[in-house]
Chain A
């Protein structure tokens, strides 16, 4: 049963600390997305990769956020330094090209 996995599932940290979230896309998928969900903004794209190359990171605050794909089986989203307004659920999704996207269970981040 192929699925997207994300770690950690929950993270509580203090303002100013570094946070790293990890995602393992479905094997064979060449496109990986990072979305953020908040009550106020809903679901919004932060960044996405195709064949490990970043295609769009316009939704990401670049001064503190960074996204990478060290290899085809791992995507990371890093926040440094974290702020309370970063508290949200972060979802990773993967797909093949521009077709159906499959979402992971999310990382619920709380920054105190």
Chain B
């Protein structure tokens, strides 16, 4: 059974700092990996999708990398802003999970002004 782990569970940083969120998964036979953002009481916003054949994806200040063989992904946020404060979720499809997304528990990020 696929398991996804995110470290750290919570992170508090001053504005302007670059930061890295970590995600690991147990079954490397994934189709893709998706990073989401969730604001309190809101739905999930898709940030980046990395296909299993890709190594990284970039969108603005966000860069996600994927090392499928080691079962790891990182989300890099450059020059963090208070508006980046949210919970960041990593999820994978594939392997024994098929098309379903298997989620990590999330990293709760607070960026202080």
Main secondary structure of the interface of B (DSSP, over half): strand
List A residues 79-112 near B (Cβ within 8 Å): 91, 93, 97-106
In angstroms, how far is the closest chain A Cβ from the Cβ of B11?
18
- Closest residue of A by beta carbon distance from B43: A105
- Closest residue of B by beta carbon distance from A46: B100
Q: Which residues of B contact A44 (CB under 8 A)?
A: 103
Number of A interface residues in the complex (CB < 8 A): 23
In angstroms, how far is the closest chain B Cβ from the Cβ of A91?
6
Bin chain B's interface residue count.
20 to 34
- The docked-state distance in angstroms from the alpha carbon of A44 to that of B1 is 13
- The docked-state distance in angstroms from the alpha carbon of A91 to that of B91 is 15
Query: Does B98 reach chain A (CB closer than 8 Å)?
Result: yes
Could you pull out 25 A-B pairs where Cβ atoms are within 8 angstroms?
A31-B99, A33-B100, A33-B101, A42-B105, A45-B100, A48-B99, A50-B99, A55-B99, A56-B98, A56-B100, A91-B43, A97-B99, A98-B32, A98-B93, A98-B94, A98-B98, A98-B99, A99-B32, A100-B34, A100-B46, A101-B34, A103-B45, A103-B46, A104-B43, A105-B43
